[in-house]
A and B are shown apart, each in its own frame.
Chain A
Amino acid sequence: MSVLLQRYLRSPSAAIGLALLLLVVFMAATAGLFYPRDPLGLAGRPLQWPMEVSAFPLGTDSSGRDIAAQIFHGARVSLLIGFFATSVAILIGILVGAIAGYYGGIVDDILMRITEAFQTLPNFLLLLVLVAVFGSTLWVVTLAIGIVSWPAPARLTRAEFMSLRGREFVQATRVLGLRDFQIIFREILPNALPPVIVYASVVMAVSILLESALAFLNLSDPNVASWGNLIGTGRGVLRSQWYVSAIPGVAIIITVLAVSLVGQGLNDALNPRLKKR
């Protein structure tokens, strides 16, 4: 493990990514500490520019809400949604991909048709449909993002399983008389997992972007502070007070960048052979 960490930190971009991610995690963890009040409550005079008043280092939005408080609390929402939606997507993806890839044949055909159906549907449209049908509470949004994101990890897992199932070490376990369940989850999965874990960072980045887009369109949970929502609020005053939209955007960029860099760093650390390139 420490070897992995060493290899990981050797790359400066991976180290920067980790630092940025820790920063966002720090903001999420301390949001309640620094900003114990409801971030969506009235805090002061609306539309004060950043640094104009020392109480509001990032200024206030058009409803007089503290932008800094929304940024801190928004980190929570982004990370939570990102993490849980990714978990849902990866879990479904691994299950579908593993079964399709291991058994092949008709099982694979059926599962792949379903996967294709999901991929043929523009994911953001499906997200809109799901939110339209089930409402836009935090949990629905999280689950919906997970549900629209599973096809890619499923395909990746399937490809890994298809290449691994023909490997001699897997054939050997079949010759030894191991059960399919054991072969899939104890023999193949640990070997198929690293690229899927790395891909999880992509899913997480996309999840965070999807949530912010939903929130921007006012279709995410209106009762929680979300960066996307704040950008949407700022739209009305874009011409003069552009900072209301600009600031949360930077927060999103930093978070997505951090997640991507960490994923890339992990990839390089797990595949030292490719690192040289």
Chain B
Amino acid sequence: MTPLLEIENLSVALPTGADRALALDRVSLSLGASEILCVVGESGSGKSMAANAVMGLLPEDVRPTTGRILLDGIDLLTMTEAQLRKVRGNRIAMIFQEPMTALNPLRTIGDQIGEMFREHTDLSKDRIREKVLALLDEVRIPDPTGAIAVYPHELSGGQRQRAMIAMALALEPKVLIADEPTTALDVTTQAQILKLIRDLQPKKGTAVLFITHDFGVVAEIANRIVVMQHGRVVETGAVDQVLHAPEHAYTKSLIAAVPPLTAPPPRKLSSEIALDIKAVSKTYRSGGFLGRRARITKALDAVSMQLPKGGTLGVVGESGSGKSTLAKAIVRLIDVDSGQIQLGALDLAKVRGAELRAASSKVQMVFQDPFASLNPRRKAGDLVAQGPIAHGVSRSLAIAKAAELFALVGLDPSSIDRYPHEFSGGQRQRIGIARALAMNPQVLVADEPVSALDVSVQAQVLRLLVHLREKLGLSMVFITHDLRVAAQICDRIAIMKDGHVVEAGITADVFGTPKHEYTRALLASIPGRAMLERQPS
């Protein structure tokens, strides 16, 4: 097979002052005609940089220093800007991670797809419209004639990504670069988009360079795999070979970090209930002012679930399912419309004022984003000591306790004087956990605590949470969109969709014999199921 696109010995220098000298260090890879090559790596591996280098879309202060990028034997790096423009979109097209921001918000979908033809062909207006309609149909956007006149904000994330794909494939390019195209999407939508790419690829004869961090996605879609770490290629090979007989230690660790799908054997749980959520409802109203039509969203619709003492209750759902609203309701970041959240004799949904502040010591929260959840202007120790101080503990005592907690969550106690930006993402998440534990809570609400972390770090933080649960006798509500993560840590699982609980039960039961159709769809959508199930857990 002659390679269509070949990257030879490509090095890309970062501007002085960056954390390393080279973004890409002598990277070589080749993409054959009509194959799907996955470039896998964690954040900072240089995988996106490689994609941008091919498109000639590197940031201004980042320049290739050595190497060649050959498309059909011609070096793209020696082309003039005008020559490159004829290649971009026409022979190499690209789709991006964020469908929400990758389309111009002020122009219609049809206009933006049609622009491909207007730019690169001499087709008439009517012909272009026909072509755009055909493309929209091909990417399975319902009602193409309607969708052609619609603005991006009127489409869902999945639909927008379909529109992006339609645009990228408009001129039947030889190469499609897909930079994490499903990362921002829900798991069921991700499955659909992956299927779409898999279906369209042979039909159009397009070779795909697929950038991802997710080995599950790799297993779904790749023919061949390139693994990258710190700007270098560490392993290349066919999909079966890399997934089942990885050679490089880094590849092995990445694959091992992918959570298995089988639930651990059920633990014996206390019959005592730590948190009893009864028929909680929350409705959001937007607008309704001066005759404006009010839009009503039922974020939570009579949601009930129980958290056994010392257990972990997983709340799993896609975006818009109401899972985060539930988490916020439990810690009273929002007020519910009706229902009870019973913590022992205390109804968390009803307490106010001083009583609410007192109750806050009993229920604490770990947040999703380790970068946004810590005040950048406070020292790590102060962040942990802050809660106890607000509840009357003396500062010196609170700081001493903070140092102890640092040790407990696996951080160096002497680092309490450092600022959040001096810690890595995983370490920051540990600070967030320590901050919650400083209040000696009975219940810990963890809202997607690992979804912003790299897989290898995810596993460590999950282990820490399990360790703390056992050691401190915590009960935990674990909110996640990722069934694989839920399977590892949760004793019970509640599946949510559109503000309802559609199914709840012991984790092994929900996974083994899912009753609700939606649960089955969720399970079927997990990328790389085949690979995961073959893996010993």
Using a CB–CB cutoff of 8 Å, the interface residues on chain A facing chain B are: 167-179, 182, 187, 190-191, 276
Contacts and interface: CB of A to CB of B under 8 A. Distances in A.
Contact of A177 (B328, B358, B369, B436): B358
B359 to A, nearest CB: 8
Contacts of A191: 375-377
A176 B384 CA distance: 10
Contacts of A178: 386-387, 390
B288 to A, nearest CB: 13
B342 interface: no
A170 B376 CA distance: 11
11 contacts: A167-B373, A172-B365, A175-B360, A175-B364, A176-B387, A176-B435, A176-B439, A177-B390, A179-B390, A182-B390, A190-B377
B333 A171 contact: yes
Contacts of A179: 357, 390
A174 B436 CA distance: 12
A168 B435 contact: no
B476 interface: no
B390 A175 contact: no
B365 A175 contact: yes
Interface in B360-393: 360-361, 363-365, 367-369, 372-377, 386-387, 390-391
A256 B93 CA distance: 50
A270 to B, nearest CB: 13
A173 B386 CA distance: 8
Given A169-B372, A190-B377, A191-B376, A177 B387 contact: yes
A110 to B, nearest CB: 14
Contact of A176 (B360, B368, B376): B360
Interface of B: 61, 328, 331-333, 356-358, 360-361, 363-365, 367-369, 372-377, 386-387, 390-391, 432, 435-436, 439
Interface of B, secondary structure class, is loop
Contacts, number: 63
Contacts of B332: 175
Nearest to A183: B390
A228 B292 CA distance: 50
A172 B377 contact: no
A172 B435 contact: yes
Contacts of A176: 360, 364, 386-387, 390, 435, 439
Contacts of B436: 175
Given A176-B386, A187-B375, A168 B368 contact: yes
A76 to B, nearest CB: 36
Contacts of B357: 177, 179
B367 A172 contact: yes
Most buried by A among B356, B361, B390: B390
Given A176-B360, A187-B375, A191-B375, A171 B390 contact: no
B377 A177 contact: no
Contacts of A177: 356-358, 360-361, 387, 390-391, 439
Contacts of A190: 377
A276 B61 contact: yes
A181 B328 CA distance: 21
Most buried by B among A171, A179, A191: A171
B375 to A, nearest CB: 4
A187 B356 CA distance: 20
Given A175-B333, A187-B375, 17 more contacts: A167-B373, A168-B372, A169-B374, A169-B376, A171-B373, A172-B374, A175-B360, A175-B364, A175-B436, A176-B364, A176-B439, A177-B357, A177-B387, A178-B386, A178-B387, A182-B390, A191-B375
A182 B357 CA distance: 13
A172 B360 contact: no
Nearest to A178: B390
Contacts of B386: 173, 176, 178
A2 B368 CA distance: 34
Contact of B331 (A167, A170, A175, A187): A175
Nearest to B438: A176
Nearest to B445: A175
B360 A169 contact: no
A169 B439 contact: no
Nearest to A176: B387
A178 B363 CA distance: 14
B138 to A, nearest CB: 39
Nearest to A109: B289
